Structure 1
């Protein structure tokens, strides 16, 4: 049970007797009926969500604390500073923190800064602190203090290396004020959990001198195609967080306009940044690169239902209902070293778990008997509580209590597999370290699943992603891909333009027939990827050559029997028609056992 001053977890009336599981999936808010051998889910859901999304009932108030808002300017002065201070005072009055606002740099002494949980740099510009004041602020951060940078905080202290690292990136230029689409990358952090996957708003959109992605967790980024003047080559972070030299740092590029501070969504964004920087909520703010999405909220293709119960799907979120069963990712079996990340939230005293290392099966008990469950329920016995490897090893309860957000708030797991070792991270903090010694089970080979425990257990999941990290990860293999009649998979006329036809042709040893099958599940030739046109799933959808982009339209998994399946669509690579001559096009088709779907890979 969490030992903080916010909402305690309810006492569990009776201990759970065994590892039970359940998951089914339903489009939007209706559950599919249970089936003994269900087919892959193919329901359509919105590709993106633009509305700000309602949060569940709020937890008890944070303990009272103080923040310092610093808005001194030695360069351009934003007219919105006064509106920003007013908005922050309003947020404080409603959320149990006190705001002291100042432009007096003399306030920056060790003793003066000590009472504040966070210091907000509100559109500061230029050199605003002298050497002694900088030293005092560095001491404050290294002692566990919080920093919140708003907008022109990135246009501040260019010659102070510590500050540049704290802010994460510094100002380069900006276009005119205009509307742009903000892509919300992290919907677990308190600053962005209230938002949809897309956030359309008007502001002055900064370009930065460097990209903070390698040193910070990017929470939101700009779609540079949605406005004019972006110059960061399509990867344009606009809000991020990071742990920095003992303290916490949050930055948002929004807040140029006076109107920003009247927007409920932007105000809630600022509140979440302040709460996290002040230590009132937890989040994984480690840098994150190299992960591929298994469930991004817009598609559940590749997942299968095992057992009764269900999930509703709305706002990019899977929420459990009923039970018992399991939803597992059938599109790929993971081997070697890999890392799984996902976001989860309990509504109250609820139960669920994440399973690793089990074989493909539509029997949910296969995961119990052959895999491992990482538990979510926080009120069970030590070997069955949040972060525990169910029935095998308790989490570090003290570390868990520090890291765990209470019911109603989002948490993030990283489940890192290295050989037979499993490390569990909760909101970026390591809380368990377990090594499998059971010869019947293996963490380094198997599938991933999430659990629906039963009626009354209300647990939600978002943003399930995985990184293959080496170990037994297979090396890329290059050579011919042979199909029906011994003919080779071929690129029409050796052209490399996007959309070029892929076909069967007599094997001839040219580069147009030399394919590389990689561990990331791509199949490449002539520097481009085998691609399902438009990410479609209908029988007959064209399979073509296209610039590699990491989407599910370019993932191909060999199956037993020689078929090659696209997990996103659930369909197979197929030589069209019933007579297969030179020039026969390949396309997507429902998987069957015919010879035109049998392929020999390098």
Structure 2
């Protein structure tokens, strides 16, 4: 469960303009830590705002939609307030809601001040759910277009169409099969959101008439946006949509995710090849006792200790492996990489590496750990982990001999091995069936290989002590601008790109040691990239980031580490103020 306890009023201005953020915050989050997993999963009470103002075409289904959302709230522990009054969009009012739902809004519905309040709400961690004509809204507001993901272009007549469910791990689509046949008014969009959002479902344009998106037609998606969360579905035109159980569960999943009640990997994804697509296990081989049962498009563990491994080919070089998984209770399993071909499941453990699934084991053998070698960042793991009964997504990213582990899109481990007898860059992949009583399901195993194989550029936040982000003071790109730590807010001042040449870049310039000096306390700043040793940084296995020229570490100064604390160079000591998580 990610933390929503962020300042809303002035937060963006605070990080970008150097102003102090104010203390207004969203309601406290729910924990999905291992301790919380012992109880039955239930969301805490929260509130959502349903906004249905129209300045253009008005859908007759709006009233049915409000009633249906109220029903979902009653059944699932959240309160629904509905309004068509744009004056509800103030910082003090919006902060009381986990999510704002735009229910078939049309046209220009917010004035400039209301838009600013909503932007601050999103930047402070607020959620957005767009339903149907939410994409036919605010065409002249770039922030909103980015939030919604795509805007309306046209639509054919209402008709039945086949929906391809691309992501069966997200709470909005996990209840669906690989295809979903339903009737609605199917929008065409001006742009394709696939490059900026995780597409959850798309239309099969051959199954109906009037689609104009050249065969790649997203219809539901999610994305992290400017510090908040955004979910959109193109369904919901018809009155009947709001009595359709599968569609209502789809809406509930979108609301839960946008409100931070459940986690998902909503990063854009493309270029992956399916190793297991829900139907065929061709290319897979069982090693050891027990096995896997194919149930509802999932491979479910049975007995053990064994392993189902992809014997059809060995993977070499860099790659990204993604696996969706769900535990039933406190179960044990894992995903294995970098092991030689063998029908002995212990060979994979002893000659490769296992990323563990077991939330209550010891630190080096718990969920997200590289089994027996390196614990996950437990705080980051707990924040990203869904409880038993809900789906999770692992990405295991191999770059050279470095293994990075992402859980539901959040980085939770970074391991570089030093065993000359093993190599991450050559070997097979597999999933483990641990033993009787351990039931874990796996879906959608896919891999992406080759140079630049990672899904999108490695650009994002650099997180340090107390979960704060490396930040360029005032988002100022002038040479010599101070680099500091600040509450994470998704702004451009906190977007960094570690490059193959050893530089770490933001705002088109490089992280730089002032004057190339090596003394403790030397200022770290932003500077025009120049290829010198003052701008070379290497991530270490212990979590530090070192400047090889000085043999010293990037360090958040002092011992309190509030917003605005500058970073500087200091002798490496692996304290909390020298630990960083790179994108």
| 1:439 matched to 2:420 | yes
For structure 1, the 5+ residue unaligned runs are 14-57, 474-602
3-state SS of the aligned residue for 2:371? coil
Cα deviation digits, residues 401-448 of structure 1 (max 9, x gap): 000000000000000000000000000000000001100011110000
Distance 2:268 2:64 in 1: 32
1:296 to 273, 277, 299: 277
3-state SS of the aligned residue for 1:441? coil
**Which has the larger Rg?**
1
1:156 match: 137
1:249 match: 230
Contact 2:32-2:386 at 8 Å conserved across structures: no
Larger relative contact order (Cα-Cα within 8 Å, sequence gap ≥ 6): 1
- Alpha carbons of structure 1 residues 438 and 471: separation in structure 2 relative to 1, 3 Å: farther
Contact 1:7-1:59 at 8 Å conserved across structures: no
1:331 match: 312
Distance 2:90 2:2 in 1: 34
- Paired residues for 1:428-467 under 5 Å: 428-467=409-448
CA shift for structure 1 position 315? 1.2
| 1:232 matched to 2:209 | no
Contact 2:308-2:432 at 8 Å conserved across structures: yes
| 1:419 matched to 2:400 | yes
2:87 to 72, 83, 106: 106
CA shift for structure 1 position 60? 2.6
Distance 2:112 2:185 in 1: 31
Distance 1:377 1:434 in 2: 19
Compute the TM-score of the two structures, normalised by the length of structure 1: 0.70
CA shift for structure 1 position 472? 11
- Paired residues for 1:72-221 under 5 Å: 72-221=53-202
3-state SS of the aligned residue for 1:153? helix
CA shift for structure 1 position 59? 4.3
Distance 2:131 2:36 in 1: 41
CA shift for structure 1 position 469? 3.3
CA shift for structure 1 position 266? 0.3
| 1:389 matched to 2:370 | yes
3-state SS of the aligned residue for 2:348? helix
RMSD between superposed Cα atoms in Å:
2.0
- Alpha carbons of structure 1 residues 423 and 85: separation in structure 2 relative to 1, 3 Å: same
Distance 2:94 2:309 in 1: 50
Deviation above 6 Å: which 4+ runs of structure 1?
1-4, 10-13
Compute the TM-score of the two structures, normalised by the length of structure 2: 0.72
For structure 2, the 5+ residue unaligned runs are 4-28, 455-583
Cα deviation digits, residues 12-67 of structure 1 (max 9, x gap): 99xxxxxxxxxxxxxxxxxxxxxxxxxxxxxxxxxxxxxxxxxxxx9432010000
2:300 match: 319
3-state SS of the aligned residue for 1:148? strand
| 1:398 matched to 2:379 | yes
Contact 1:6-1:61 at 8 Å conserved across structures: no
| 1:364 matched to 2:345 | yes
3-state SS of the aligned residue for 2:240? helix
> How many residues were matched structurally?
429
Contact 1:285-1:428 at 8 Å conserved across structures: yes
Contact 2:2-2:260 at 8 Å conserved across structures: no
- Alpha carbons of structure 1 residues 59 and 260: separation in structure 2 relative to 1, 3 Å: farther
- Paired residues for 1:453-492 under 5 Å: 453-470=434-451
Cα deviation digits, residues 90-111 of structure 1 (max 9, x gap): 0000111000000000110111
Distance 1:7 1:240 in 2: 24
